[in-house]
Amino acid sequence: MEEVKPQLIKITFDGIEVEVEPGTTIMQAARKIAEADESQGHLVPPAMCYYKPLPTSGGKCRACLVRVAAGSAKDPRPMPKLVPSCITQVQEGMIVENTTNPAVLDTRKSIVEFLLINHPLDCPVCDQAGECHLQDFSFEHGSVKTRYEEDRRTFDKIDIGPFVQLHMTRCILCYRCVYTADQITDKRVHGVMNRGDASEISTYIEKAIDNDFSGNVIDVCPVGALTDKTYRFKSRVWFSKPEDAHCDCDKCSGKVTLWYRGDEVIRVTARKNMWGEVNEFICNKCRFERKKTSDWVIEGPTKVKRSSVISANKYSKNLIAKPEFSLKLAATQFKPIGDEREYTTDIETVRHQSIENNDKANHRSLLTDNRN
């Protein structure tokens, strides 16, 4: 029997045509565009609950709602409501509007608002800060001000097992950790209790989540609700340096990312793709117990998006190639700046002005520092 390749389906997403296999979701089609051309990354709908490695996830947070302007070539009527792109399958000739539709962006703004009204906004003391999807989501789509005046929902922090802390106040109820426990571990002991805005992730009675793969709930959590107790308050993520490494593990693939501060491994996580999704789930032994460089074979620095705070000041400039597109763009868009103001080119004067400004802001003298 000759293998018949399924015919590809062509859709238009924000004016860009893309061909995908039947059964693909709108979200995956959009990601395909961005994977081919990184500069189109901003077109991809945000995902707060959807997580590709966890089948059946998605459809809950409504962050990825898009407008289908034409359902298919056969039936080109628009869909009456915005649809969740993460679980809606494409049809031949479908036309989807995401960033090109103001109603979509307006709705997305309100989803940020809904997710934040009961969020503590304690980013300054949250271990997730810097790699938090909610932070990114609200930075990209949120408002500066909140209209919410009432009390926020709060819960006590609880330890679920020796390695994982549950900070329910931060949770956005994406259900990813529940699916992880269902699909990755052999037994689920935590779940969603109560309902409505009183819903909470819990074990109900005090119980440890104790099995070989339980640590993965930390990696899938989009916010700082489930955090690694062995890493608690050790460092801000942007001060640590990720390195890919592997080991010979009898339980999992052993492919991990080690997070260094100086020479010390302060954290071990699974490797993630450009959408923040785990490539391969790792076992608790790799995650929590192998914290010496000698436990691992180092492969080299983890590829981190240039836009990520994690990449800040870590690599020599050529390690990560600058996208060709932006260079081209810069070359074509370059315009000489017509600035008529008076300015000085004398380096010493500029430096002194800068130091003065800094002094005013920081109340400390850079001059003294510089002398040393």
DSSP letter string over 62-118? -TTEEEEEES-SSS-PPPSS-EETTTPBP-TT-EEESTT-HHHHHHHHHHHHHHHHT
Rounded CA gap, 20 and 22, in Å?
A: 7
Compare residues 117 and 366 and give the one whose CB is closer to another protein.
117
Provide φ and ψ at 243, rounded to 5°: -130, 135
Give min distance, CB of 287 to another protein, in A: 23
Compare residues 67 and 290 and give the one whose CB is closer to another protein.
67
Give min distance, CB of 341 to another protein, in A: 42
Compare residues 4 and 205 and give the one whose CB is closer to another protein.
205
Q: What DSSP state is assigned to residue 9?
A: E
Give min distance, CB of 113 to another protein, in A: 8
DSSP letter string over 309-355? GGGTTTS-TTSSPPPHHHHHHHHHH-------S-----HHHHHHHHH
Contact yes or no for 176/239 (Cβ under 8 A) = no
Helices (H) and strands (E) in the chain — how many of each?
9, 14
Residue 255: strand, helix, or coil: strand
- CA torsion sign, 58 to 60 to 65 to 70? positive
Question: Residue 133 burial (CB < 10 Å; 0-12/13-18/19+)?
Answer: buried
Compare residues 61 and 265 and give the one whose CB is closer to another protein.
61
Compare residues 137 and 296 and give the one whose CB is closer to another protein.
137
Give min distance, CB of 57 to another protein, in A: 11
Compare residues 203 and 235 and give the one whose CB is closer to another protein.
203
Q: Which of 95, 221, 123 is nearest to 165 (CA)?
A: 221
Give min distance, CB of 219 to another protein, in A: 21
The structure tokens listed for 311 are 């990449």
* Chain centroid to CA 70: 30
Compare residues 40 and 99 and give the one whose CB is closer to another protein.
99
Compare residues 202 and 302 and give the one whose CB is closer to another protein.
202
Give min distance, CB of 81 to another protein, in A: 5
E runs forming strands in 194-296: 200-202, 226-228, 241-246, 255-261, 264-270
Give min distance, CB of 71 to another protein, in A: 12
Interface residues with another protein (CB under 8 A) are 59-63, 65, 81-82, 84, 87, 107, 110-111, 113-115, 117-118, 147-148, 150, 172-173, 175, 187-199, 202-205
Neighbours of 357 (CB within 10 A): 10
Rounded CA gap, 270 and 259, in Å?
A: 11
Residue 220: strand, helix, or coil: helix
Rounded CA gap, 175 and 198, in Å?
A: 15
Give min distance, CB of 205 to another protein, in A: 5
Compare residues 89 and 230 and give the one whose CB is closer to another protein.
89
Compare residues 223 and 270 and give the one whose CB is closer to another protein.
223
Give min distance, CB of 217 to another protein, in A: 14
